[in-house]
Amino acid sequence: MTSPVSDADTLDMGLRPRRTGGQDLPMLVETLVAAFVDDPVTTWCVPDDKRRPEILRAFFEIAVDVNQPYGELYTTDPAPVAGAVWIPPGCQPTGEHAEQLAAWYLEAAGEFADRFVVAMELMDACHPQQPHHYLWFLGTRPGWQSRGLGSALLREVLDRCDRDGGPAYLEATGEGNRRLYRRHGFEVTDEITLPDGPTMWPMWREPSNQEGRR
């Protein structure tokens, strides 16, 4: 799921993507909270404006902690104003592990757990079974969008996908996102419409043909 990022390709000078870990993780969580607090999907999941930041913070703390060992969490340096959570092939939870994680996330959701269940079940129904790099979260803090930071965080993994021949997958939550991802090679494969709520677009990307680009 991706919040508004950017459909510009001009990277703000002085800011570069890098992997995060250890002491960086709290700042990555705060960046994701700031990026998603007004996102249409998270607003539907947590309609209470006052509770939303607290619930998102608890949710992202789990997501960042669980996925840290895979080494695919990213932010921008020196200012952590954008962030991404990628999950590599073979690392996406299944079976009892997936059930345990779902329980943790729903506990973080508090009184809005039922809404999270609906969103998660609809997303799971569309999620491809073929191994892929999954962009779970990508967001830029308000005031830093349209500077190419979203594109830079995408390229950190998509360039490797192209080299290794691996596909990628994500869910876009807005028209601007959809345009950005299409320019990076993603194609819409379905639609997910939340009950009386916003639409998400599952998007799949095959690796680019490196030979054809030379």
| Model pLDDT, residue 178 | 93
pLDDT tens, the chain, 214 aa long? 666 555 444 455 578 999 998 888 999 999 999 999 999 999 999 999 999 999 999 999 999 999 999 999 999 999 899 999 999 999 988 888 888 899 999 999 999 999 999 999 999 999 999 999 999 999 999 989 888 899 999 999 999 999 999 999 999 998 889 999 999 999 999 999 999 999 999 999 999 875 433 3
Question: What is each CA distance from 17 to 2, 36, 154, in whole angstroms?
Answer: 17, 19, 9
Q: Which amino acid is at 171?
A: E
CA 56 distance to own-chain centroid:
13
The Cα 214–Cα 211 span in angstroms is: 6
- Residue whose entry in the numeric block shows the structure tokens 């902690």: 65
| Model pLDDT, residue 93 | 84
- Closest C-alpha among 133, 17, 168 to residue 80: 17
| Model pLDDT, residue 21 | 81
CA 105 distance to own-chain centroid:
16
* Domains defined for the chain, CATH in brackets: 16-213 (3.40.630.30)
| Model pLDDT, residue 147 | 84
